[in-house]
Amino acid sequence: MAAGFFEGDERLAVFDGLGHITRKGDPRSLQVSDRQRLYQAIEQGDGPGAQAYLDALLPRHLEMLALLLEWALQLPSSARALTTAAEERAQTHRALERWSSEASSIATDTTTAALVAQVQTLLAQATPDDAPRLREHIAGDGTHPALALLEPVRSYADALRTSLSAGDRDQARAHLEAYFNTCVTLHDAFINFTSAYPTVVLATRGPELALELVRHSFSRLGAYEGLWALPRLLDTEALAAFLAEHLRAHFSGPDRGGSVRIEEYEDCYRLVFDPCGSGGALRRRLAGRWEGALLPEANPMTWGRSGEVPTYCSHCAFNELVSIERFGYPVLVTEFHPDPHRPCGWTLYKRPEAVPEQCYRRLGLEPPSARP
């Protein structure tokens, strides 16, 4: 079928330009979460269909978890680069304390509690050299010891495949639930640390260093430059499809199963996350406890907001700033909402001229029409 990413019946098809298998079809169909699509295939007795969805999702989930693990390990490395060894050790200790105080929001049973304990052990034993070593291994043989944290994800995926092949629906349902619970637990444990670290730096050293830590750590990630190659490789529709897939792999949506609402307008695509699986889900999960992470002063990395944007969410504003530096316009415009119970989103304009002037001004920049 020659239909585009957001046309026709839902299907698994090759992602044009990237080569992996992805979900394509009508946006209303794509809004159904990844978890629900797998569950529906199981209920319908469609073992091959369920396996096909799992084979498409597993690589994206593993990539996302490895990326977040790398970011968690990069934070101490960036803190040492920006301060001193003694300061880094003190901040890492504070970050672990804050992370530990929030861990109960992630661990909901004995299985997830054991996963959280493994993440805690890894973070407590990590050194600033671990992030660059992990990048070397991911680029090479992919066997860094830290990646052993992700083995339960593969194990549950294998168990799900076995139960699907045997036609055992009860076991397939149980393994599907265990698979997603494991993915979400690891995902949220890593996200919590990437939030806790700049938050304690904000409390002890102020917003300037906290934001520099976000910028430094995020821009050192192994996937960073590859992500910025995509706007040159993909047209706006394909880029919207990739970013929707990326946010599904963040386990966005009300059931944390990977859901994004896709809306097309004459001049843009709009992706809506309710919640965003990273910052949005973090704020909902921690209730009022995330308020210590709010950046107190208006800044380009807070979209000109004061006391409303957490340190973690500032990396979305950073992405806008970087895209303007590289391409001359914000490739993805973030719709941040200070109320975590309201959805956030990304808007991708089909033409740079269609980007509203306010999208530049809130970043402290003059729009192209006002430049000499």
Residue 69 lies in a domain: yes
* Same-domain check for residues 189 and 248: no
- Using pLDDT thresholds of 50, 70 and 90, give the confidence band for residue 1: very low
Q: At what angle do helices 279-286 and 169-205 cross, to 10 degrees?
A: 80
- Domain final position from 159, 175, 208: 208
Q: Which pLDDT value is given to residue 108? A: 84
* Same-domain check for residues 247 and 204: no
* Same-domain check for residues 160 and 263: no
- Using pLDDT thresholds of 50, 70 and 90, give the confidence band for residue 2: very low
- Using pLDDT thresholds of 50, 70 and 90, give the confidence band for residue 259: very high
pLDDT at 137 over 90: no
Q: What is the mean pLDDT of residues 123-131?
A: 94
Residue 202 lies in a domain: yes
Residue 326 lies in a domain: yes
Asked if residue 207 has a cis previous peptide bond (ω within 30° of 0), the answer is: no
* Same-domain check for residues 192 and 239: no
* Same-domain check for residues 258 and 173: no
Residue 24 lies in a domain: no
* Same-domain check for residues 10 and 154: no
Residue 245 is encoded by which pair of tokens? Answer: 């897939």
* Same-domain check for residues 254 and 135: no
* Same-domain check for residues 40 and 184: yes
Q: What is the mean pLDDT of residues 134-157?
A: 88
Q: How many CB atoms lie within 10 A of CB 304?
A: 16
Residue 215 lies in a domain: no
Q: Number of structural domains, the chain?
A: 2
For 25, residues 6+ apart whose C-beta sits below 8 A from its C-beta are: 6, 7, 8, 9, 10, 11
Domain limits for position 284: 1-19+223-372
* Same-domain check for residues 144 and 267: no
Query: In this predicted model, what pLDDT tens digit does every residue of 79-98 receive, in sequence order?
Result: 999 999 999 999 999 999 99
Query: In this predicted model, what pLDDT tens digit does every residue of 284-318 receive, in sequence order?
Result: 999 877 778 999 999 999 999 999 999 999 999 99
d(CA 206, CA 290): 16
Residue 195 lies in a domain: yes
For 359, residues 6+ apart whose C-beta sits below 8 A from its C-beta are: 320, 330, 333, 367
d(CA 305, CA 295): 9
- Domain final position from 150, 180, 208: 208
* Same-domain check for residues 10 and 59: no
Q: What is the mean pLDDT of residues 253-263?
A: 96
* Same-domain check for residues 9 and 121: no
Judge contact between 10 and 262, C-beta under 8 A.
Answer: no
Residue 26 lies in a domain: no
Residue 40 lies in a domain: yes
* Same-domain check for residues 307 and 371: yes
Q: What is the mean pLDDT of residues 331-349?
A: 96
- Domain final position from 160, 179, 208: 208
